[in-house]
Amino acid sequence: MSIKETIDFRKQVIEDVLEVYPEKAKKNRRQHLAVKDSECSSCAVKSNAKTVPGIMTARGCAYAGAKGVVWGPVKDVVHISHGPVGCGYYSWGNRRNLADGEIGVDNFVPFLFTSDFQESDIIYGGDKKLEKIISEVVGLFPNAKGVSVLSECPVGLIGDDIESVARRTSLEHGLPVIPVRCEGFRGISQSLGHHIANDAIRDHLLGKGPAREVGKYDIGIIGDYNIGGDAWASKKILEEMGLKVVNIWTGDSTMEMLQNGHLVKLNLIHCFRSMNYIAKHMEDTYGTPWMEFNFFGPTKIKESILKIAAQFDESILEKALAVIAKYEPLMQKMIDTYRPRLDGKSVMLYVGGLRPRHIVGAYEDLGMEVIGTGYEFAHKEDYEKTLPALKEGTLIYDDVTALELEEFVMKLKPDLVGSGIKEKYVFEKMGLPFRQMHSWDYSGPYHGYEGFPIFARDMDMAINSPTWKSIKAPWTK
Amino acid sequence: METKTKATTAWLNTVEYREKNFAREKLVINPAKACQPLGALLCALGVEGCLPFTHGSQGCTAYFRSTLSRHYREPIAAVSDSMTEDSAVFGGQSNLIEGLKNAYAVYNPKVIAIFTSCMAEVIGDDINAYLGNAREQEAIPQDFPVAQANTPSFKGSHITGYDTMLKGLIDCLATPRQEDKINDRLYVVPGFDTYPANLREYKRLLKMMDAPYTLLPDYSDVVDAPNLGTFELYQKATSISEMNDALNAASYLLCQTYSTPTTSKYLASKAVPFETLSMPIGVAGTDKFIESVAKFTEKDVPEEITMERGRAIDAMTDSHQYIHGKKFALFGDPDVLIGLVSFLLEMGGEPVHIVCTNSTPLFKKAMESLLASSPYGQGATLYAGKDLWHLRSLLVTEPVDMLIGDSHGKWAARDANIPLVRVGFPITDRVNLHRYPIIGYSGVINLITMIVNTFLEDVDRNSPEAYFEMMR
């Protein structure tokens, strides 16, 4: 097919899939689907809008964005899931944000702390209970550097005043208690939860840490949650470049890192969607500059290393070039190994904050092509950042419904689908190779020079697994 | 303000810390329970063509689906009506109606099972009234079945939600009981059972015993679907016609006690005969199940079952020495715990710590009397309503040889340096365990295999060379 034919075909695929919806839903969903074409007028998909009720969405809620994504990985803070037991239970130990520390002493990441609301708490309010809970936390975990209170739906609905409980208990116990108003009904996806979590850091922690001299090479990583050790892989490159990573937000992070996030020469932002708010705030308030970077795949890593080095002096550039020279042969070896097995294979992605665009380059390093991509909870500027990374004819889908994604995949026939746990087994049942691209499918890291060989191996394993060949029984027609 | 003790791992392992930990009144740390709608969703998957539908925030549904998918490694279909802030002000009616309209049109279900999450419960939405309006506005046809369950997360746990949804499904789909239309079938309710292999085991045993039966709900094919190269939104499950006839059942056999009280009360109110059993884990539990079915069929127990039982007993005697006198800690749902503890007592194993976060007074009584009935149960304590951080304190101050429970127990087991044998829900870090039954006589063999081989694996890995032997 020519590019024009491809574009027309894929536009028709969109029209076909919409047929199933009732009128109102159809009208809504049409605005979220597009094909990148030369004019690109049609590829401005609508985003950050309410999900159509009754249709299978992959989206979560504000609590998921605030607790699951932003706060959960901060290791020396006790995070209380405030409300009934479920939200905390379902977000317990399954985001893979690794943290280094003594569990129960200065690392609380693998825990679920909940106020386990009962009916009486709904009727009489949960403030007193919360106050008691915070004092119990302090008694049982005296090394905790702070307590965050992450509200679940009922808390906001019954009119509890967690802010005043936080103020009181903070004074009483002499440690920060941070109220986070991330009830799941707020906003339309995880996205508002990210914003609320950022605002809570801004209002309660940032700028309140112990004074520290800012070294000339001190930098911070913002929006890397250390999934499968990603942040550690990024840190390794940056430190080999001669920079000093003093803060990571929030993978393997500490409260002091949150307090002193502005005390760096430069903030590198990985997941723009979930943490751009605080990066912009640090620039506006403290003059701390920030820039985006991408450590997926050797091409993007090299580009990013050079871009980062350009912010510093010659000595850093020198080391940066040495880092590139050191690792590129290893990366080339990986490409030589895997490219012949993956060249020309196509991928469709549907993920969260940044991966639908950031990871495109890593696939291209392996000779693979991304033919469809989309975000669960992106905003307009995310799609604007995405389009330049995509080829003409790429299908773009926002808050794609399960049914749309299934139809798109059946029509476009990619060799690999990369999305989440809720999607994984649908496609594997279709006989399609799949990788979870939120959790790295229990593998990783995928960032940096350490991550690319693992990424390449995993994609090869998925696509070339002999298991797919056994699906058809010899006696079936 | 009390003086802070500097925390260290060593301090966490002290009796002093255990006392402090058990003095906790309000804070819950690592509870072994989820919330009601998760159980409701699982239950709804067990009816043919049924689409689970959460009335509440969409994040809840995302969580239920992810949690179930991680355990089963299967797709889990469910929708929500995505209530947001404006629903908090105006109520969730417009979301419910629009959601029903879309779900009905897009997914072509035979029945929709609505259950609520917190938001709808706190604002007091009246689903029944909304549903009437949905029909009036032609969002769904007048006669399209929609089952309902109020499943607030601030009451009970996942097993409560399962129970309420089951009652809702029967109430929605079954025609009223008519004494002249009683069918010949035994309706078997597994209870909140996360093992598709258990469900299949029930069916196998019922078939062997030539009992006309309906398993209700039966999601075994939904949560363990074959890979045939195509994705099917709906799999085979309890058929609508069997649901329609559910109140005309000859009798019900409820195979769990604590996940079925609402359903049994409902059956009683409809004059449907039923019997409630303990989950048939272990020999005695399975014997009771077999006897109940035989009583129903009024036939002798077939010889194959006696042979099968004999093979399980053979496995027990063959390997009793590896379990006898060993000390165990367990945590999980009430029904599973009763079953596992009675199995261990049959083997001469000694339960020591039993933690049940979603305990009830009735369960406590039953467990205590079970423990009192055996010399091997004398050293055991049930910790009702406690959590896995309590359990950790117990394990490090009063050591045992093995922990049995779901994957969430792995940290406590690691801290206590003992193996964790994974039984229950969720199991997210091992493969295929849900494909092996833990009920029935074959369940006895599987439990022995898991427990004994785990011990023996440990012996081999840790034995000094001089003691490294061919036979164990």
3-state secondary structure A158-214: CCCCHHHHHHHHHHHHCCCEEEECCCCCCCCCHHHHHHHHHHHHHHHCCCCCCCCCC
Res A331 pLDDT > 80: yes
Q: Does any domain span residue A168?
A: yes
Q: Kindly report, residue by residue over A270-282, the tens digit of the pLDDT.
A: 999 999 999 999 9
Query: Does any domain span residue A321?
Result: no
Chain B partners within 8 Å of A471 (Cβ)? 227-229
In the predicted model, is pLDDT for residue A43 greater than 70?
no
Domain boundaries, position A261: 218-316
Q: Specify the pLDDT at position A250.
A: 97
User: Is A39 domain-assigned?
Assistant: yes
Position A1 scores a pLDDT of 87
Band (pLDDT 50/70/90 cuts) for residue B1 is very low
CA atoms within 13 A on the CB side of A462: 25
pTM (two decimals)? 0.98
- Which domains occur in chain B, in start order? 36-173 (3.40.50.1980), 179-297 (3.40.50.1980), 303-466 (3.40.50.1980)
State the Cα–Cα distance between residues B436 and A32, nearest whole angstrom: 44
Residues A95 and A236 occupy one common structural domain: no
Q: What is the largest CA-CA distance in chain B?
A: 80
Q: How would residue A18 be classed by pLDDT, with cut points 50, 70 and 90?
A: very high
Are residues A111 and A153 located together in one domain of the fold? Answer: yes
**pLDDT band at residue B320 using 50, 70 and 90 as cut-offs:** very high
β-pair type (A177-180, A290-292): unpaired
Pick from B29, B54, B224 the residue to mutate for testing the A interface (most A CBs within 10 Å).
B29
This model of the complex carries an ipTM of: 0.98
Dihedral sign for Cα atoms in the order A230, A231, A233, A234: positive
Nearest CA in chain A to B58: A60
Q: From the list B1, B59, B231, which residue is nearest A429 (CB)?
A: B231
CB A392 within 8 A of CB A369: no
**A4 lies in a domain?**
yes
> Closest Cα to residue B442, out of B201, B194, B189?
B201
Model confidence band, residue A40 (pLDDT cutoffs 50, 70, 90): confident
Contact B412, B395 (CB under 8 A): yes
Of the pLDDT bands very low, low, confident and very high (cuts 50, 70, 90), residue A452 is very high
CATH number for position A173: 3.40.50.1980
| Whether residue A74 sits in one domain with residue A22 | no
Peptide bond just before B217 cis, omega within 30 deg: yes
Is residue A152 located within the same domain as residue A283? no
Query: Does residue A61 have an active-site annotation?
Result: yes
Cβ atoms A136, B25 nearer than 8 A: yes
Considering the candidates A61, A87, A144, A271, report the single residue annotated as catalytic.
A61
Nearest to B280 by CA among B308, B257, B306, B250: B257
Strands A369-373 and A395-397: parallel
Query: Whole-angstrom Cα distance, residue B81 to residue A54?
Result: 5
Judge whether A194 counts as a catalytic residue: yes
Q: How many domains does chain A have?
A: 3
| Å between B200 CA and nearest CA of chain A | 21
For B363-400, the pLDDT digits (tens) are: 999 999 999 999 999 999 999 999 999 999 999 999 99
In a domain, A210, yes or no: no
Chain B contact present for A405, CB below 8 A: no
Interface of A with B in 250-289 (CB under 8 A): none
Number of residues in chain A: 477
- Last-in-domain residue among A204, A230, A255: A204
The answer, yes or no, to whether residue B3 has pLDDT greater than 70, is no
| Shared-domain flag, residues A139 and A278 | no
Strands B146-149 and B111-116: parallel
Sign, CA dihedral A22-A28-A31-A33, equals negative
Q: Tens of pLDDT along B59-112?
A: 999 999 999 999 999 999 999 999 999 998 899 999 999 999 999 999 999 999
Q: Note whether A267 and A224 are within 8 A (CB).
A: no
Q: Is A44 helix (H, G, I), strand (E, B) or coil?
A: coil
Rounded to 10°, the helix A162-173/A127-140 angle is: 30
Torsion-angle region of residue A407: left (phi > 0), alpha (psi -120 to 50) or beta?
alpha
Quick count: other Cβ atoms within 10 Å of Cβ B384? 18
Has residue A424 got a pLDDT over 50?
yes
For A321-379, the DSSP string reads HHHHHHHHHHHHHHHHHHHHHHTT-EEEE-BSSSHHHHTHHHHHHTT-EEEEE-BSS--
The helices-and-strands tally (H runs, E runs) of chain A is 20, 14
Q: What is the DSSP letter of A439?
A: S
Q: What is the 3-state secondary structure (H, E, C) of chain B?
A: CCCCCCCCHHHHCCHHHHHHHHCCCCCEECCCCCCHHHHHHHHHCCECCEEEEEECCHHHHHHHHHHHHHHHCCCCCCEECCCCHHHHHHCCHHHHHHHHHHHHHHHCCCEEEEEECHHHHHHCCCHHHHHHHHHHCCCCCCCCCEEEECCCCCCCCHHHHHHHHHHHHHHHHCCCCCHHHCCCCEEEECCCCCCHHHHHHHHHHHHHCCCCEEECCCCCCCCCCCCCCCCCCCCCCECHHHHHCHHHCCEEEECCCCCCHHHHHHHHHCCCCEEECCCCCCHHHHHHHHHHHHHHHCCCCCHHHHHHHHHHHHHHHHHHHHHCCCEEEEECCHHHHHHHHHHHHHHCCEEEEEEECCCCHHHHHHHHHHHHCCHHHCCCEEEECCCHHHHHHHHHHCCCCEEEECHHHHHHHHHHCCCEEECCCCCCCCCCHHHCCCCHHHHHHHHHHHHHHHHHHHHHHHCCHHHCCCCC
Do both A45 and A66 map to the same domain? no
Same domain, A344 and A371: yes
Residues A376 and A448 in one domain: yes
Q: Is residue A323 part of a domain?
A: no
Quick one: pLDDT at residue A41?
60
User: Where among A182, A204, A226 does a domain terminate?
Assistant: A204
Q: Are strands B28-29 and A33-35 parallel, antiparallel or unpaired?
A: unpaired
| CA–CA gap between residue A306 and residue A316 (Å, rounded) | 10
| Closest chain A residue by Cα to residue B412 | A103
CB atoms within 10 A of CB A265: 18
On whether both A104 and A147 belong to a single domain, the answer is yes
Share of chain A above pLDDT 70, in %: 99
Residue B363, both tokens:
């369960």
Per residue in A283-304, pLDDT tens?
999 999 999 999 999 999 999 9
Mean pLDDT (chain B, rounded): 97
Q: What is the pLDDT of residue A11?
A: 96
| pLDDT given at position A5 | 96
Q: Is residue A213 part of a domain?
A: no
In this complex, do B118 and A152 lie within 8 Å of one another by their Cβ atoms? yes
Does residue A56 belong to the interface with chain B, where contact is any CB pair within 8 Å?
Answer: yes
Two structure tokens written together for B141? 């046809």
Lowest mean pLDDT among A36-40, A321-325, A406-410, A437-441: A36-40
What pLDDT is attached to residue A76? Answer: 98
- pLDDT band of residue A431 (cuts 50, 70, 90) is very high
Instruction: Judge contact between A89 and A56, C-beta under 8 A.
Output: no
pLDDT score for B6: 66
> Which of A268, A293, A316 is the last residue in one of the domains?
A316
- Taking an 8 Å cut-off on Cβ atoms, the answer to whether B60 and A25 are in contact is no
A322 belongs to a structural domain: no
Q: Which of A32, A95, A195, A262 is catalytic?
A: A95
Nearest to B193 by CA among B226, B219, B154, B155: B219
The yes-or-no answer on residue B356 being catalytic is no
Site from A61, A404, A413, A439 to mutate, B interface, most B CB atoms within 10 angstroms: A61
pLDDT at residue number B2: 43
| Sequence letter at residue A75 | K
Q: What is the largest CA-CA distance in chain A?
A: 74
Q: Are both A72 and A137 inside the same structural domain?
A: yes
Cβ–Cβ below 8 Å for A129 and B26:
yes
Tens digit of pLDDT for each residue in A217-256? 999 999 999 999 999 999 999 999 999 999 999 999 999 9
Alpha-carbon separation of residue B306 from B283, B300, B340 (angstroms): 12, 11, 22
Cβ neighbors of A228 (< 8 A, separation 6 or more) are A96, A98, A439, A440, A442, A443, A444, A445, A446
Look at residue A42 in the predicted model and tell me its pLDDT: 54
Note which residues in 416-445 of chain A have CB less than 8 A from chain B.
420-431
- What residues of chain A lie within 8 A of the CB of B1, using their CB? 172-173
Give the distance, in angstroms, between the CA of residue B471 and the centroid of all CA atoms in the same chain. Answer: 37
Residue A168's CB is within 10 A of a number of other CB atoms, namely: 14
- Cα B469 to Cα B459: distance, rounded to the nearest angstrom: 10
A55 lies in the same domain as A66: no
What pLDDT is stored for residue A38 in this prediction? Answer: 83
* pLDDT, position A39: 77
Give yes or no: residues A335 and A416 share one domain: yes
Q: Which residues pair with B354 in a beta bridge?
A: B330, B382
Residues 6+ apart with CB under 8 A from A284: none
pLDDT reading at B293 higher than 50: yes
In the predicted model, is pLDDT for residue A341 greater than 70?
yes
Query: In the predicted model, what is the mean pLDDT of chain A?
Result: 97
Four-CA torsion B392, B395, B396, B398, nearest 10 degrees: 140
Q: How far is B62 from chain A (nearest CA, A)?
A: 6
